[in-house]
């Protein structure tokens, strides 16, 4: 192990030590290096990822698939503050249709207001892993009380310039929130259980936390092909196990099991809540706003609202 890597032999979700190897290779060899080259400079890959194993483990107890060798805290800080900011993938994310994202987030936030049962102005939100800050901006425009947090200093500074209240987790000073949003975060975390425990402690009584991650359902069949060039929607799509980044690969069932380890119950969202509003900026957005709740209802993506179980 170099200075930026650590190794996980126990399942980071349930702590099980008796895990199975489902793929073994090297970060600097095919197929892993084909993906890494699309996100990081080659000198960083050669210097920091050389001789490190890209090994995927599966926990038979909770069904989580996870990478054994991962970036440690120092490696994560370097990744998000030094290596990734100039990556082509960042520019690709920024180029996505913002109107379509705005519509999707608006629909999600109306669901939240329904779940909480009160007006948006009375709901405080922490967006953990805020990324580009779009969730925060949409929530703020709808009247929610919003605070954004992220590991990236650049992200926090940029969001602050846009008028979003930001804070590192360690600086929240005992604040509590009605809702904590984690969108595409827990797949990146070296110790997700410890992080979830910390976030749950920031919830108010009857607070809700939402965890949304790339769906790893059926990923084992796709590992036989190991084609990181396969686009979203393709039968060989492998983004849930991207080397060095998506180090925890959840399915709907393993995500539920993950929440249960910390006494969280999944909230059943009434189907009609998702039709509280139907954005119709254009025909494409209108159709997606109609079809998305149906897809979520039947396909069970790895996105769940959790609430701490009440003590008897």
> Is 162 in the same domain as 193?
yes
Q: Pairing state of beta strands 177-183 and 69-71?
A: unpaired
Q: Are residues 203 and 82 in the same domain?
A: no
Same domain membership, residue 59 and residue 192 = no
Task: Give whichever of 69-83, 114-128, 265-279, 295-309 has the largest mean pLDDT.
Answer: 114-128
Q: Are 44 and 131 part of one and the same domain? A: no
* In a domain? residue 255: no
Residue 254 within any structural domain of the chain: no
Q: How many separate domains does the chain show?
A: 2
pLDDT over 90 percentage in the chain: 64
Alpha helices in the chain (DSSP H): 32-36, 42-48, 73-78, 88-94, 98-116, 134-141, 153-161, 192-200, 219-222, 252-260, 283-299
- pTM for this one? 0.92
- pLDDT 10s digits, 134-158: 999 999 999 999 999 998 888 899 9
pLDDT at residue 266 above 90?
yes
> Which of 67-81, 168-182, 225-239, 260-274 shows the lowest per-residue confidence on average (mean pLDDT)?
225-239
Q: Once rounded to an integer, what is the mean pLDDT over residues 92-113?
A: 81
The whole-chain average pLDDT of the chain stands at 90
- Per DSSP bridges, beta strands 53-58 and 65-67 are antiparallel
Looking at the fold, whether 77 and 172 belong to one and the same domain comes out as no
Find the domain containing 287 and state its range: 96-212+261-308
CATH (domain of 119): 3.40.50.150
Q: Are residues 85 and 125 in the same domain?
A: no
């Amino acid at each position: 192990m170099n200075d930026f890597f650590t190794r996980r032999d126990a399942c980071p979700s349930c702590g099980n030590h008796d895990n199975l190897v489902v793929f073994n290779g090297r970060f600097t060899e095919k197929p892993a290096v084909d993906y890494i080259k699309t996100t990081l400079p080659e000198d960083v890959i050669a210097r920091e990822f050389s001789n490190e194993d890209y090994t995927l483990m599966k926990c038979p107890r909770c069904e989580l698939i996870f990478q054994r060798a991962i970036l440690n805290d120092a490696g994560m800080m370097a990744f998000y503050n030094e290596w990734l900011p100039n990556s082509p993938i960042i520019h690709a994310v920024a180029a996505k249709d913002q109107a379509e994202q705005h519509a999707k987030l608006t629909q999600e936030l109306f669901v939240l207001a329904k779940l909480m049962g009160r007006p948006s102005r009375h709901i405080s939100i922490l967006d953990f892993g805020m990324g580009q800050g779009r969730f925060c901006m949409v929530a703020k425009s709808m009247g929610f009380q919003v605070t954004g947090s992220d590991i990236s200093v650049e992200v926090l500074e940029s969001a602050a310039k846009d008028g979003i209240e930001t804070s590192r987790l360690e600086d929240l000073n005992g604040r509590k929130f009605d809702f904590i949003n984690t969108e595409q975060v827990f797949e990146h975390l070296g110790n997700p259980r410890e992080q979830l425990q910390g976030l749950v402690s920031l919830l108010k009584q009857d607070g809700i936390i939402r965890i949304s991650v790339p769906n790893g359902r059926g990923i084992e069949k796709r590992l036989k092909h190991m084609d990181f060039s396969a686009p979203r929607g393709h039968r060989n799509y492998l983004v849930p196990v991207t080397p060095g980044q998506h180090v925890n690969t959840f399915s709907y069932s393993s995500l539920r099991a993950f929440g249960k380890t910390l006494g969280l119950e999944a909230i059943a969202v009434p189907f009609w809540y998702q039709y509280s509003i139907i954005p119709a900026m254009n025909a494409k957005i209108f159709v997606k706003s109609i079809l998305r709740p149906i897809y979520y209802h039947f396909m069970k993506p790895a996105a769940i609202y959790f609430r701490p179980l009440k003590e008897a």
